[in-house]
A = this chain, B = another copy of it.
């Protein structure tokens, strides 16, 4: 039992209420230092993703919508329009931008991208109310802890149809903003209720390479933020929106496990389990990409020597990547297992620039068609707790070799150093001229010092 829980241990709460109590009571001093440091790492990584995405067409559309509907002033930075506005529109722009280059973090067990839905609303509100760096970090940790557990709770059946980052993300955003607004337990429960009843996001868009992923994060950030502000004003929500008979799991999952909602709150820090993305593609491609790299290095293979790659994957990879057989856009190509492995084999890098130039590259397209996915029992049973990568490579001269990784690059056991995070931030922050190297360097310095900031101001 944690200190927070044991003080009221006599009261037995249902899972949503227990979660609300934990996140509303969470204090900076309760958070272990390595979690605080990892939170800073993840925040910088997210800022870099926001900058890298800020020139994308779909993200610009979201920014324009904010210009049309929002106020012309405020204290919250909208990094897409590079202006100050109200928290709602800053959160929407930045959340849309955070996810588009597919370089933001992911939590394996929940298959959930917390950064894109937690940091944008938390930052926008922290800037609006002048919250301290400690408060911002506490709120962000609360958002991660809630969102990841809700993603785990909703389970694999949910993820087959629903984009967990959109659904669980709405609640995560509400929790982060609610903590900044210092909601009490009762208000926080209402914020969670209002967020859960707005939770949305369907995978159908993948088939058409549509822009919905950016909409899902913007929607989660906006709806979550709205829920927290409404709760602060007394607006009420369902008390059991997660586990109730007509709640999220009832409507959108067949394998939900309510015990996950409160799994070791205060003891287990799910934020620290979150992985950085090294390749600029859908996370489902990363284990196979690293396994192929392993096979290539181990056996000294050249791309031209490879006649076939079988990737042994979990069902979720097939569900998400399966529909993408002939990618038409750069964004869609990040969901093409064949394209990702082609870039690894041909260029030894699946970074942003290689995806841009790879889309029309005939060699990439040819290699892509040599890649197949097969459901693998070992990989599928380990998933989503562990994302094992396994490939079987057949060479043009008939050899059959294998490659394997047990933790893809960026996972907690194979994480990025601060130097690697800074390098990635510089690469992403200056992508397509989104910002200057000097701006990114100043941003890096501000983020590493954020915990001691008395009141959050502008970052750029």
Which chain B residue lies CB-closest to A203?
B246
Across the interface, which residues of B come within 8 angstroms of A239, CB to CB?
207-208, 210
Q: With contacts A70-B69, A241-B204, A245-B204 known, is A212 near B197, CB below 8 A?
A: yes
Across the interface, which residues of B come within 8 angstroms of A65, CB to CB?
226, 229-230, 233
Q: With contacts A69-B70, A210-B193, A246-B206 known, is A223 near B230, CB below 8 A?
A: no
Whether B70 pairs with A202 at a CB distance below 8 angstroms is no
Q: Scan A181-199; emit 1 where CB is below 8 A from any B CB, else 0.
A: 0000000001001101111
Pick the interface stretch among A105-113, A247-255, A338-346, A359-367.
Answer: A247-255
Instruction: Please pick, from B160, B200, B206, B229, the residue contacting A198 in the complex, using a CB distance under 8 A.
Output: B200
Whether A202 pairs with B62 at a CB distance below 8 angstroms is no
Bound form: Cα–Cα A58–B231 in Å: 10
Beta-carbon contacts under 8 Å, A29-78 to B: 57-58, 61-62, 64-65, 68-72
Whether B211 pairs with A235 at a CB distance below 8 angstroms is yes
Across the interface, which residues of B come within 8 angstroms of A207, CB to CB?
238-240, 244-246
Which chain B residue lies CB-closest to A226?
B65
Across the interface, which residues of B come within 8 angstroms of A205, CB to CB?
193, 197, 237-238, 241
Across the interface, which residues of B come within 8 angstroms of A233, CB to CB?
61, 64-65
Across the interface, which residues of B come within 8 angstroms of A209, CB to CB?
236
Whether A219 pairs with B223 at a CB distance below 8 angstroms is yes
Q: Quick check: is A216 within 8 A (CB to CB) of the other chain?
A: yes
Whether B194 pairs with A197 at a CB distance below 8 angstroms is no
Across the interface, which residues of B come within 8 angstroms of A413, CB to CB?
none
Instruction: Please pick, from B57, B196, B206, the residue contacting A202 in the complex, using a CB distance under 8 A.
Output: B196
Instruction: Give the copy number.
Output: 2
Whether B57 pairs with A69 at a CB distance below 8 angstroms is no
Q: How many residues of A contact B (CB 8 A)?
A: 64
Q: Quick check: is A22 within 8 A (CB to CB) of the other chain?
A: no
Across the interface, which residues of B come within 8 angstroms of A212, CB to CB?
193-194, 197, 236-238
Whether B226 pairs with A197 at a CB distance below 8 angstroms is no
Whether A241 pairs with B197 at a CB distance below 8 angstroms is no
Whether A197 pairs with B200 at a CB distance below 8 angstroms is yes
Candidate in A196, A215, A226 with the most chain B CB atoms within 10 angstroms? A215
Q: With contacts A161-B246, A246-B203, A251-B161 known, is A234 near B194, CB below 8 A?
A: no
Bound form: Cα–Cα A240–B70 in Å: 31
Instruction: Please pick, from B61, B206, B238, the residue contacting A208 in the complex, using a CB distance under 8 A.
Output: B238
Beta-carbon contacts under 8 Å, A156-188 to B: 160-162, 166
Q: Quick check: is A87 within 8 A (CB to CB) of the other chain?
A: yes
Bound form: Cα–Cα A216–B226 in Å: 12
Whether B248 pairs with A202 at a CB distance below 8 angstroms is yes
Bound form: Cα–Cα A201–B193 in Å: 11
Q: Quick check: is A86 within 8 A (CB to CB) of the other chain?
A: yes
Across the interface, which residues of B come within 8 angstroms of A227, CB to CB?
215
Nearest Cβ on chain B to A325's Cβ, whole angstroms: 14
Q: Quick check: is A88 within 8 A (CB to CB) of the other chain?
A: yes
Across the interface, which residues of B come within 8 angstroms of A240, CB to CB?
204, 207
Across the interface, which residues of B come within 8 angstroms of A198, CB to CB?
200-201, 215, 219
Q: With contacts A62-B230, A190-B210 known, is A215 near B202, CB below 8 A?
A: no
Instruction: Please pick, from B61, B86, B215, B251, the residue contacting A68 in the complex, using a CB distance under 8 A.
Output: B86
Bound form: Cα–Cα A208–B17 in Å: 14
Whether A230 pairs with B61 at a CB distance below 8 angstroms is yes
Bound form: Cα–Cα A246–B209 in Å: 14
Which residues of A approach B to under 8 Å, CB–CB? 57-58, 61-62, 64-65, 68-72, 86-89, 160-162, 166, 190, 193-194, 196-212, 215-216, 219, 223, 226-227, 229-230, 233-241, 244-248, 250-252
| A to B CB contacts below 8 Å, 30 in the list | A58-B236, A61-B235, A65-B230, A65-B233, A69-B70, A69-B88, A69-B229, A70-B71, A162-B251, A166-B197, A193-B208, A193-B212, A194-B215, A197-B204, A198-B200, A198-B201, A200-B200, A204-B241, A204-B246, A204-B250, A205-B237, A207-B239, A207-B244, A207-B245, A208-B238, A210-B239, A211-B237, A212-B237, A212-B238, A219-B223
Give the 5 A-B residue pairs with the shortest CB-CB distance, closest first. Answer: A203-B246, A161-B251, A204-B238, A205-B238, A69-B88
